[in-house]
Amino acid sequence: MSWLGKILGGALGFALGGPIGALAGVALGHNFDRPARSARGHGWTDPDLLAAADPADFLDSAHTLDPRERTQTAFFTATFSVMGYLAKADGLVSRDEIRLAAQVMDEMQLSGRHRQVAQRLFREGRAPDFPLGEVLDQLRRECRYSRHLITMFVEILLHAAFADGELHSQEHALLETICARLRLPAGELDRLEAMLRAERHARAGKASDSLSAGDAYAILGVEETCSDTELKRAYRRMMNRHHPDKLVAKGLPEEMMRVATEKTREIKAAYDRLKEVRGL
C-alpha cells in the first residue's frame, strides 16, 4: 500500500505540520484543525475522506509516520502545489496550463485518489497567499537535504514548464528563485535545462533519426571534449542520481518512479550512442 493509501486508511495518521502539512491536509480532506487559508470556503473538502477516520486518530498516530513515508508525502505535496504556483508565473493560469498539468499527471499515470489529490494541490499552489519560500524550506528538511531528491523535484517542475514546448522567461526566472531557495549550485538550472532540451529533441526525432551525439553529450552533462574516463564517470554519476529504486528508498513517491525510470532509459541510450561514436 502506498503512502497515500495508508494515510487515507488511517494507519499512519497525518502530522507533517508546517505549510506542507496544511496543504496536504486540505488536499487529503483532513482539514480538521489547521486548513490552508486559501481552501476556506471553496468546497474542496471531500466528505468521504473526512468520514474515513476520526480527527483525533490522525493527531494521536503522528508518531507512526516513518521517515520515508513522511518524505514521500512532503515531496508529492510540494511538487504539485509548486507546479500550480509555477503555472501562474506570467500572472494568470490559462486553460492550456491546466491542460498541461493534466498531461504531466497522465505521464505519471496518476489516477483515482492520487490524481484528485494532485489536482487539489495544483489549485492550492495558484492561491494568492501560497507560501512558496516556506514550502521549499520545509521540503529541503523533509528530504533530509538529499541533493538527488531535490534535483529530481526541480527536474519534474522543468518538465511541467516545458510541457507546451517552451520555457517562458517568467518561468525560468521563478525556477532560478526556486533553485536558489533549495540551495542548488549556481548553474544547476542551466545544466538541467540543457539536459531536458536534449531529451525532448531526441524524443521528437526518435521515429526517423538516431540520437545525435550533441544531444547525447547534453543528456550526460559533459562536453564533447571530455575524455573516455570522464564520460564513463559522468554516465555512472547520472545513473546513480536517477536510479528509481535508490530514489524511492530516499523518499521519492512510488507514483513518480516512472519519471526516474524514463530518465535512466534516456541516460543509457545517450551513453550507448557515445560509445558507438567513440568506438568504446
What domain count does the chain have?
2
Q: For residue 114, give every residue at least 6 positions away whose Cβ sits within 8 Å of its Cβ, in sequence order, or none.
A: 2, 4, 255
**Do 134 and 257 fall into the same domain?**
no
Per the model's pLDDT, the better-predicted residue between 59 and 155 turns out to be 155
**Do 147 and 277 fall into the same domain?**
no
Contact present, 152 and 242 (Cβ < 8 Å): yes
pLDDT (average), residues 27-51: 41
What percent of the chain has pLDDT above 90? 24
Answer yes or no: is 83 within a domain. Answer: yes
Answer yes or no: is 273 within a domain. Answer: yes
pLDDT tens-digit series, residues 101-125: 787 788 788 878 888 888 889 989 9
**Do 180 and 208 fall into the same domain?**
no
Answer yes or no: is 2 within a domain. Answer: no
Answer yes or no: is 3 within a domain. Answer: no
| Per-position DSSP letters for the chain, written without gaps between them | --HHHHHHHTSS-----HHHHHHHHHHHT--SS---GGGTTS----HHHHTTS-HHHHHHTGGG--HHHHHHHHHHHHHHHHHHHHHTTTSS--HHHHHHHHHHHHHTT--HHHHHHHHHHHHHHTSTT--HHHHHHHHHHHTTT-HHHHHHHHHHHHHHHGGGS---HHHHHHHHHHHHHTTPPTTHHHHHHHHHHHHHHHHHTTTTSPPPHHHHHHHHT--TT--HHHHHHHHHHHHHHH-HHHHHHHT--GGGHHHHHHHHHHHHHHHHHHHHHHT-
Domain boundary among the residues 159, 184, 209 is at: 184
Which pLDDT score, from 0 to 100, does residue 10 have? 44
**Do 179 and 214 fall into the same domain?**
no
Answer yes or no: is 248 within a domain. Answer: yes
**Do 245 and 211 fall into the same domain?**
yes
Answer yes or no: is 137 within a domain. Answer: yes
**Do 70 and 180 fall into the same domain?**
yes
**Do 202 and 270 fall into the same domain?**
yes
In this predicted structure, the answer to whether residue 63 has a pLDDT above a threshold of 50 is no
**Do 179 and 197 fall into the same domain?**
no
**Do 39 and 171 fall into the same domain?**
yes
**Do 178 and 205 fall into the same domain?**
no
pLDDT tens-digit series, residues 133-170: 999 999 999 998 899 899 999 999 998 888 777 788 88
Q: Which domain holds residue 203?
A: 191-280
Answer yes or no: is 1 within a domain. Answer: no
Domain boundary among the residues 168, 184, 200 is at: 184
Which pLDDT score, from 0 to 100, does residue 13 have? 43
Confidence band of 261 (pLDDT split at 50, 70, 90): confident
**Do 129 and 153 fall into the same domain?**
yes
Answer yes or no: is 209 within a domain. Answer: yes
Domain boundary among the residues 184, 205, 222 is at: 184
Q: What is the CATH number of the domain that holds 201?
A: 1.10.287
Confidence band of 206 (pLDDT split at 50, 70, 90): low
Which pLDDT score, from 0 to 100, does residue 37 have? 40
Q: The cell 553529450 sits on which residue? A: 217
**Do 136 and 266 fall into the same domain?**
no
Per the model's pLDDT, the better-predicted residue between 199 and 1 turns out to be 199
Is the four-CA dihedral 187, 156, 124, 245 of positive or negative sign? negative
